[in-house]
Amino acid sequence: MSHFAAIGRVPGDPILGLLDAYRADPNPAKLDLGVGVYKDALGITPIPYAVKLAERHLVEHEPTKSYIGGHGDPVFGDYLLQLVLGADNPLLRDGAVGATQTPGGTGALRLAGDFIAANLPGRGIWLSAPTWPIHESIFATCGLRVEHYPYVGADNRLDVEALLDALQRVPAGDVVLLHACCHNPTGFDLAPRDWKRVLDVVKARELLPLIDFAYQGFGDGLDEDAWAVRLFAAELPELLVTSSCSKNFGLYRERTGALIVRAQDAGKLIDIRSQLAALARNLWSTPPAHGAAVVATILGDPELRGLWAEEVEAMRLRVANLRNGLVAALVPHGLAGRFAHVAAQRGMFSYTGLSAEQVQRLRQEFSVYLVSSGRANVAGMAEERLDYLANAIASVYTP
Asked if 291 is part of the footprint of ligand PMP (rule: CB under 6 A), the reply reads: no
Beta bridge partners of 97: 262
Asked if 48 is part of the footprint of ligand PMP (rule: CB under 6 A), the reply reads: no
CA nearest neighbour of 385 among 368, 370, 365, 362: 368
Query: Per-residue x/- marks for ligand PMP, 114-143, CB under 6 A?
Result: ------------------x-----------
CA nearest neighbour of 343 among 304, 308, 386, 305: 386
Per CB under 6 A, contacts with ligand PMP among 235-264 are 244, 246, 252, 257
CA distance 365 to 361: 6
In the residue annotation, 132 being an active-site residue is answered as yes
Contact criterion met (CB below 8 Å) for 319 and 61: no
* Closer Cβ to ligand PMP, 132 or 397, answer by number: 132
Asked if 106 is part of the footprint of ligand PMP (rule: CB under 6 A), the reply reads: yes
3-class SS letters over 88-115: CCHHHHHCCEEEEEECHHHHHHHHHHHH
Instruction: Choose one: 2-10, 103-111, 268-276, 300-308; the region binding ligand PMP (CB under 6 A).
Output: 103-111
Number of residues that bind ligand PMP (CB under 6 A): 13
CA nearest neighbour of 295 among 248, 365, 347: 248
In the residue annotation, 196 being an active-site residue is answered as no
Q: Which ranges constitute the DSSP H helices of 330-385?
A: 341-344, 356-366
Asked if 101 is part of the footprint of ligand PMP (rule: CB under 6 A), the reply reads: no
Q: Which of 39, 225, 247, 308 is catalytic?
A: 247
* Closer Cβ to ligand PMP, 86 or 287, answer by number: 287
Smallest distance from the beta carbon of 347 to ligand PMP, in angstroms?
Answer: 9
Asked if 345 is part of the footprint of ligand PMP (rule: CB under 6 A), the reply reads: no
- Please list, in sequence order, all residues whose beta carbon lies within 8 angstroms of the beta carbon of residue 170, skipping any fewer than 6 positions away: 124, 126, 147, 149, 176, 205, 207
Q: Which of 189, 212, 225, 308 is catalytic?
A: 212
Contact criterion met (CB below 8 Å) for 98 and 76: no
Contact criterion met (CB below 8 Å) for 277 and 71: yes
Answer for which of 114, 212, 254, 311 binds ligand PMP (CB under 6 A) is 212
In terms of C-beta density within 10 A (0-12 exposed, 13-18 middle, 19 or more buried), how is residue 6 classed? exposed
Asked if 377 is part of the footprint of ligand PMP (rule: CB under 6 A), the reply reads: no
Asked if 36 is part of the footprint of ligand PMP (rule: CB under 6 A), the reply reads: yes
Smallest distance from the beta carbon of 23 to ligand PMP, in angstroms?
Answer: 20
Q: Which of 132, 189, 195, 225 is catalytic?
A: 132
Asked if 362 is part of the footprint of ligand PMP (rule: CB under 6 A), the reply reads: no
Per CB under 6 A, contacts with ligand PMP among 310-339 are none
In the residue annotation, 126 being an active-site residue is answered as no
Contact criterion met (CB below 8 Å) for 217 and 312: yes
Give the Cβ contact number of residue 210 at 10 Å.
25
Asked if 188 is part of the footprint of ligand PMP (rule: CB under 6 A), the reply reads: no
Closest CB to ligand PMP belongs to which residue? 104
CA distance to 42, 126, 202, 230, per residue, from 144 (Å): 42, 10, 19, 27
Which residues of this protein are in contact with ligand PMP, per CB under 6 A? 36, 104-106, 132, 179, 184, 212, 214, 244, 246, 252, 257
Q: What positions carry a catalytic annotation?
A: 132, 212, 247
